[in-house]
Amino acid sequence: MTDSIFPYARWTERLATLRERFAAAQPFPHVVLDEFLAPDAAQRCVRAFPPLETDGWIHYTHFNEYKFGQPDRHRFPPDVGAVVDELNSPSFVEFLGALTGIRGLLADAGLMGGGLHQSAVGGYLNVHADFTGHPHEPSWRRRLNLLLYLNPGWQDSYGGFLELWDSRMERCVHRIAPAFNRAVVFCTDADAFHGHPDPLTCPPGVTRRSVALYYFTAEREPFRVHATHYRARPGEGAKAVPIWLDMLALRVFDGMKRRFGLSDRVGSDVLKRVWPRHR
């Protein structure tokens, strides 16, 4: 337990209120936690966050998303790695269980699909519900996302709001700015639709940066497994077909990933060839 990174004492004092807020939230259980990390840890993490010019970034640049990811823990600078390790530690996972009421949570040390995310001007992620099972752990069901934003000085005019949509994809219920040291914890049910679908308008040299961590439970009984499910928003009729076609390609790769143990880096390279232009 490292209070110098995550202030356990401060957040534990608020657990009862946060638990109620999480359970009652609409359109699906979630909670926004501002000033999430200890201030010094947050500052060290953002200063060390690797720029896109460094090696190792996966290019998630197909029709349904235009962003970059770094899931390789061994490449993280020490101050960034320390934060990720703490948020995957038994102490923090226990805290998440108390917050959400989900027993038996498991951290994904391999950071499949998670780790560091970064988007530059024009970046976006279409509205979707997340994949429901871990590609390399057949009994692991995905239960929670934690998104930690590291964007000091972010302006609303840049866009990049996390949108939470109702289960029928009729309306956006909440828009959450990716403010510095803000974390969002939410359930990843099959109808928990979210994304930041409007292209970023941030200036050159400014990026939307986040740490994305996913938590699972080991299930004894079979559960329905599906790949990431993208949806068009109301009024996006012209985009519905390419959104669907891109999702089909993603589903094919998801099946191959589960069967052959492939990495996201391989899938990203294939999808870049299918959609050489992201819009």
In a domain, 169, yes or no: yes
On the question of pLDDT at 2 being above 70, the answer is: no
* Residue 2 counted as domain residue: no
Nearest to 152 by CA among 69, 36, 5, 42: 42
Instruction: Give domain status of residue 228, yes or no.
Output: yes
Q: Is 40 part of a structural domain of the chain?
A: yes
Residue 183 lies in a domain: yes
pLDDT digits (tens, 9 = 90+) for 117-141: 999 999 999 999 999 999 888 899 9
Flag whether pLDDT at 278 surpasses 50. Answer: no
pLDDT score at 126: 97
This prediction's pTM? 0.93
pLDDT digits (tens, 9 = 90+) for 18-52: 999 999 999 999 999 999 999 999 999 999 999 99
Position 156 pLDDT exceeds 90: yes
Report the pLDDT averaged over residues 71-86.
Answer: 97
Least confident of 32-41, 149-158, 193-202, 218-227: 218-227
Average pLDDT, the chain: 92
Count of structural domains, the chain: 1
Task: Classify residue 116: in a domain, yes or no.
Answer: yes
- Is residue 3 one of the residues assigned to a domain? no
Q: What is the pLDDT of residue 271?
A: 56
Tens digits of per-residue pLDDT, 208-232? Answer: 999 999 999 999 887 888 889 999 9
* CATH code of the domain covering residue 266: 2.60.120.620
Q: pLDDT category, 250, cuts 50, 70, 90? A: confident
pLDDT higher than threshold 60 for residue 165: yes
Q: What is d(CA 244, CA 191) in angstroms, rounded to the nearest whole number?
A: 16
Q: Is 233 helix (H, G, I), strand (E, B) or coil?
A: coil
248 falls within a domain: yes
The predicted pLDDT at position 187 comes to 98
pLDDT for the residue numbered 279: 41
For the segment 51-68, the average pLDDT, to the nearest whole number, is 92
Residues of the domain holding 31: 8-274
